[in-house]
Amino acid sequence: MEYFQIYGGKPLHGEITPSGNKNAALPLLAACLLTDEPVIMHNVPEIRDVLAMRDLLISLGVQIETVADHTWRIHAQQVRPADLDTDLCCRIRASILLAGPVVARAGELHLPPPGGDVIGRRRVDTHILALEALGTQVEYDRVERVFHFVSYGLTGSDILLDEASVTATENAIMAAATASGTTILHNAASEPHVQELCHLINTLGGKITHIGSNTLHIEGVPKLGGGEFTIGPDYLEVVSFIGAAVVTGGSIRIREAGPKYLDMVRLVFRRLGVHWEIEGNDIIVPADQTLKIEPDIGHSIPQINVMPWPAFPTDLMSIAIVVATQAEGTILFHDWMYEGRMYFTDKLSGMGAQIVLCDPHRCIVQGPAELIGENVESPDIRAGLALVLAALAAKGKSTIRNVGQIDRGYERIDEKLLILGADIERLKE
């Protein structure tokens, strides 16, 4: 097992470039199953979840070649509905993304239940309802613990998703891309990675319109071709670097940061007294942060809620909570999506943060608090990185164990922080 040893209190300075978007890379790789021609994918983040997806694709008969740094050539000339490795499927949530494209291409798939972060109940019902609406038969074998997907030809449909699930939207998009007829997908998620998936499919010859809205129009085509595509920057990593600079009192430039996707995040962080500047596609985080929480009208305690895109995303809640521990004032955080998202706050309290966990979905943060180094364990990807930020801001030494969780979503994060001047070292127990 590896762990991070961090000595905090050092302001970060310098320049950094984020990796490709993890949440885009996973569905984009799955979408390569829809065509029997090669797809060249640039800016692929080489992280654990993406490498697990690569192994799953190879088990389906896909040829994947690394042709340059972070550039893969994916060729799904043949797709076999193989029995997938249960351990691999349980390792990542994104294994469910194979359902749509494999059913569309091969007509059959046996899929173990997906895994991923333990942050609360994560339904697959929306996936199944959408695929059934397109003509897929789905059964779940409770003894063998496996889903059986079978289709004898997919047909476009008018579908209302019962929730704006990102991965269910992506599965429906991929299944509908080559279905017969037109699909109108209502209550669709519209996150940047959903938009990138639509653009990739269009690059390969698909016909998807109203991209970026919550009502997608997908005209099925008989066949998709090959092409090239570049994965955009990981906006979650970008905001993580913003948070790291802020809590350490540093100043950094994030190159190729994709600021067009961060308007709502910027509004929310402004309430925490955080600001940044934009130059072209770069973000500059200055050292002169106010770090004072802006109260609601009448000096009421403000509240930060997560909502579907383009509102504030749940994956950034952990980062925002750590930033709030260093800001003057009181603020309430509410994540109604996952009942386990807030459980990492007890580790922040152990470091000296003033946090009241109201219930599984809400916490109140009073700042600023002087954080002291502590020995903690990463519970999931986002909370793990949030603990790294807390350790960077804390006095003394912190040890963060189970960093394999962090590696699932952040590519060589310790090396990037070293470039910015952090005192961080990866060690083995």
Give the chain's radius of gyration (CA, Å).
22
Of 105, 39, 38, 41, the C-alpha closest to 70 is: 41
Residues classed as catalytic: 117
Of 333, 379, 390, the C-alpha closest to 360 is: 333
CA max distance for the chain: 64
For helices 125-133 and 166-177, give the axis angle rounded to 10 degrees.
20
CA–CA separation, 7 and 25 (whole Å): 33
Which residues pair with residue 282 across a beta bridge? 279
CA–CA separation, 396 and 373 (whole Å): 5
The first and second tokens of residue 232, run together, are 């955009």
DSSP string, 117-160: --SS----HHHHHHHHHTTEEEEEETTTTEEEEEES--B--EEE
